[in-house]
Amino acid sequence: MTAEDDFNKKWLNKFKLISGIGLSEEEYKNWVEAKDFERCEKYKSSLLKTSPLVIFLVEHLRRIGVDFNPSDAIHCRPCSATRGGGFSPQNGILLCSNKIFSYNQMQDILSHELIHSWDHHRFKVDWNNLKHHACSEIRAANLSGDCKFFREFARGNVGFNKHQQECVRRRAILSLQANFNCKSAEQAESVVNQVFESCYNDTRPFDEIY
C-alpha cells in the first residue's frame, strides 16, 4: 500500500465516522447512538452551567441536604419507550439520548426530572402510592415548562382557557398510567383529580410558577 493509498483509506474511514455513510447496519446503529450520546452530554453540560432553571433546582436539592453530583445523578442513555426521560430513587435521572433533539427540549425534561428528585428527597415520596406519584407528576408538569405553549403546540394541543391546568392534568394522568399499581386510565384520572388542587398550587421550591 502506497502512502497515497493509506491516506485515502484513512480519509474514507474518517468520512464514514463523520457522515455515517458507507457503514454497515451495525456500525451505523453504533454511530447513531454515539452521536446521540455526544449531543445529550453536550446539552446536559451546558444546561448545568447556563440554565437558570436547572441551576436553581440543583441548588435547592443541595439545600435540603442532597449530595448531588451530576456525573453520578444524571445519565444519558438510549430508551426504547417514547418518553424523553425518567427518575428513579435507585438510578437517579435518565435523559433519553435518542429522544432529545434540542437544548430547550432537554431543559424542560431535565427540569421535570429534577423536580421529581426534589420531591423524593423533600417529601419522602412513596412511588408505589398513586396519590404520592400523582402529586409529583402534577408538580413536575406544572413547574418544569412541560406545558409551555410551544411544547403543547408541537403536540397538537392548542387552547387558551385554563390550558395550563388542562395540560398538567393530562400529562399527570398519562404518567400515572405507567405506574404498575395503576389499573386503568380511569383510575389514573380519579387519583389525579383527588390531589390536583393542592398539588397544582404547591410551587415549592419556587415562589411561583416558572
pLDDT at 32: 86
pLDDT, position 79: 93
Q: Classify residue 41 by burial, with Cβ atoms within 10 Å: 0-12, 13-18, 19+.
A: middle
* Residues 8 and 71 occupy one common structural domain: yes
Helical H segments across the chain, by residue range: 3-19, 25-50, 52-63, 70-73, 103-123, 130-143, 149-155, 163-176, 185-200
Shared-domain flag, residues 145 and 96: no
Average pLDDT of span 5-16: 42
Distance of CA 107 to the CA centre of its chain: 8
Catalytic residue among 4, 113, 166, 186: 113
| 65: three-class secondary structure by DSSP | coil
Domain end marker among 68, 101, 134: 101
* Whether pLDDT at 40 is above 60: yes
**Domain extent for 61:** 1-101
Q: How many domains does the chain have?
A: 2
Asked if 14 and 92 sit in the same domain, the reply is: yes
Active site residue 113: yes
DSSP 83: -
| 18 shares a domain with 84 | yes
49 pLDDT band, cuts 50/70/90, is very high
Residue 115 lies in a domain: no
Confidence of residue 1 (pLDDT cuts 50, 70, 90): low
Residues 37 and 94 in one domain: yes
Residue 155: predicted pLDDT: 61
Reported pTM: 0.84
Q: What are phi and psi of 145, to 5 degrees?
A: 100, 5
Alpha-carbon span 124 to 119, nearest angstrom: 7
Residue with cell 465516522: 17
Lowest mean pLDDT among 63-72, 95-104, 157-166, 184-193: 157-166
**Which residue, among 34, 33, 15, 16, has the nearest Cα to 24 in the 3D structure?**
16
In a domain, 116, yes or no: no
- Within a domain: 189: yes
Cell numbers given for 77: 442513555
pLDDT at residue 24 tops 90: no
Whether residue 10 is predicted with pLDDT greater than 70 in this model: the reply is: no
Same-domain pairing of 94 and 129 = no
Are the beta carbons of 149 and 104 closer than 8 angstroms? no
Please name which of 163, 57, 150, 160 lies closest in space to residue 112, comparing C-alpha atoms: 57
